[in-house]
C-alpha cells in the first residue's frame, strides 16, 4: 500500500477505477494524477492486475463445480451427520465416527463457502476488452452509408437481452446501474457490426481510459474518414486492435485530454 500522504492511496485508486469515488474525491484524485507520474504508473499497474485477474478466473471457471452441486454435497454431508448411530456399535467407535463425520462436514462447508464466495465476487471490466471475447466485427458498409446524415454519429441502442449476454460473457454479475457502457469496439459509425463479438462492458466514467474518452476517439475517426483524411479500414483496424493506443496515436498524447473527460455520445447502461 502507498502510505506517503503526498500520493493517492491504493484504496483511493481502486475507488476511482471502480467508479465508487464521490464527485469531489474523484476530481481531487484526477487532478493529482494529472500531475503525478508515480501515481499514474501505480494506477496503470492496478488496471493491468485487475485485467489479469479477470482473464485468469475466466479460464478457471469452466473447471469449477457448480454452486448447486456443491450445495447438494454439503446438504448430504449434514444429513449424514444427523443420522442416528446404529444400535450395538461400541462407544469408542462412535466417538471416532462422530469426529470424522464432523470433520467432513466442516471441510465440505468450507469448500462450499469458498465456491459461493468466489462466484459472488463482483468482477470488474477493464479499460480494453478481452481480445478473445471481443475481437471486433464489421458489417458491409460504404463510405456513403456511414457518412450519410441519418447514420452519421449518434446513439446506437443495444437490446437488453444482448447486453445481459455481454455481461454474462465477461462474468460480471449484477452490474451496477450507470457504471458501464455496453460498447461497440468498432462503433457502427465506422461500420461496426451489431454482433456480440463486437461488444464489451466498458467502464463508463471510472478510470482514466473510460467510455467518454473512447467516444471522443470514435467521433474524431468518423470525421477523419468522412473528410477523406483516413481510410475506413485503417480506422477500423486501429480502434479494434487497441483503442487506447489509437487515441494516443491520433491525439498525440500519452493520456486523455481534459476536454474529453465529459465527452459523451452514448449513455451508460441502465437495466
In this structure, the answer to whether residues 150 and 254 fall within a common structural domain is yes
Beta bridge partners of 67: none
Give the C-alpha separation, 110 to 69, whole Å.
Answer: 14
Q: What is the mean pLDDT of residues 93-112?
A: 50
What's 41's DSSP letter? H
Residue 193, CB half-sphere, CA atoms under 13 Å: how many?
Answer: 11
Q: Are 163 and 232 in a shared domain?
A: yes
pLDDT band at residue 40 using 50, 70 and 90 as cut-offs: confident
| Same domain, yes or no: 104 and 203 | no
| Highest-pLDDT range among 2-6, 149-153, 220-224 | 220-224
Whether the predicted model's global pTM rises above the 0.75 cut: no
Domain that holds residue 107: 67-120
Domains identified in the chain, total number: 3
**Does residue 32 sit in the same domain as residue 49?**
yes
Inter-residue contact 243 to 214 (CB < 8 Å): yes
Residue 153 lies in a domain: yes
208 falls within a domain:
yes
User: Does residue 5 form part of some domain?
Assistant: no
150 and 252 fall within a common domain: yes
Mean pLDDT of 137-142: 92
Helix (H, G, I), strand (E, B) or coil at 139: coil
Assess whether 89 and 193 both reside in one domain: no
**Is 186 among the domain residues?**
yes
- CA gap 100, 104 in Å, rounded: 6
pLDDT at residue 225 tops 90 = yes
Please indicate whether residue 68 or residue 174 has the higher confidence score (pLDDT): 174
- Whether pLDDT at 12 is above 80: no
How far is Cα 66 from Cα 241, in angstroms, rounded to an integer?
34
Distance CA 183, CA 202 (A): 6
Lowest model confidence (mean pLDDT) among 157-166, 182-191, 219-228: 157-166
Residue 23: per-residue pLDDT: 67
pLDDT band for 10, please (50, 70, 90 cuts).
confident
Residue 130 lies in a domain: no
**Dmax of the chain from CA atoms?**
93
Residue 192 phi, psi dihedral angles, 5° rounding: -70, 145
Residue 222: all three cell numbers together: 468518423
Length of the chain: 271
At residue 133, does pLDDT exceed 80?
yes
pLDDT confidence of 99, banded at 50, 70, 90?
Answer: low
Residues 88 and 171 in one domain: no
Amino acid at each position: 500500500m502507498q502510505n506517503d500522504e503526498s500520493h493517492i492511496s491504493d484504496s483511493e485508486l481502486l475507488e476511482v477505477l471502480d467508479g465508487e469515488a464521490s464527485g469531489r474525491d474523484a476530481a481531487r484524485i484526477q487532478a493529482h494524477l494529472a500531475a503525478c507520474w508515480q501515481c499514474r504508473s501505480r494506477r496503470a499497474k492496478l488496471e493491468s492486475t485487475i485485467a489479469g485477474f479477470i482473464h485468469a478466473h475466466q479460464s478457471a471457471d469452466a473447471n469449477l463445480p457448480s454452486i448447486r452441486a456443491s450445495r447438494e454435497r454439503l446438504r448430504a454431508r449434514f444429513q449424514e451427520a444427523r443420522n442416528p448411530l446404529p444400535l450395538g456399535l461400541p462407544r469408542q467407535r462412535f466417538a471416532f465416527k462422530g469426529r470424522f463425520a464432523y470433520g467432513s462436514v466442516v471441510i465440505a462447508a468450507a469448500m462450499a463457502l469458498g465456491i459461493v464466495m468466489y462466484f459472488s465476487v463482483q468482477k470488474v471490466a477493464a479499460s480494453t476488452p478481452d481480445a478473445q471475447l471481443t475481437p471486433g466485427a464489421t458489417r458491409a458498409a460504404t463510405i456513403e452509408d456511414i457518412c450519410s446524415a441519418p447514420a452519421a454519429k449518434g446513439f446506437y441502442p443495444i437490446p437488453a437481452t444482448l447486453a445481459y449476454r455481454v455481461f454474462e460473457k465477461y462474468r460480471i454479475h449484477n452490474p451496477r446501474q450507470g457504471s458501464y457502457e455496453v460498447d461497440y469496439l468498432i462503433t457502427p459509425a465506422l461500420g461496426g457490426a451489431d454482433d456480440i463479438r463486437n461488444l464489451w462492458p466498458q467502464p463508463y466514467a471510472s478510470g482514466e481510459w473510460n467510455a467518454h474518452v473512447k467516444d471522443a476517439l470514435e467521433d474524431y475517426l468518423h470525421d477523419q474518414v468522412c473528410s477523406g483524411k483516413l481510410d475506413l479500414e485503417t480506422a477500423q483496424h486501429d480502434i479494434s486492435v487497441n483503442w487506447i493506443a489509437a487515441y494516443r496515436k491520433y491525439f498525440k498524447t500519452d493520456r486523455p485530454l481534459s476536454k474529453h473527460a465529459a465527452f459523451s455520445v452514448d449513455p451508460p447502461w441502465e437495466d
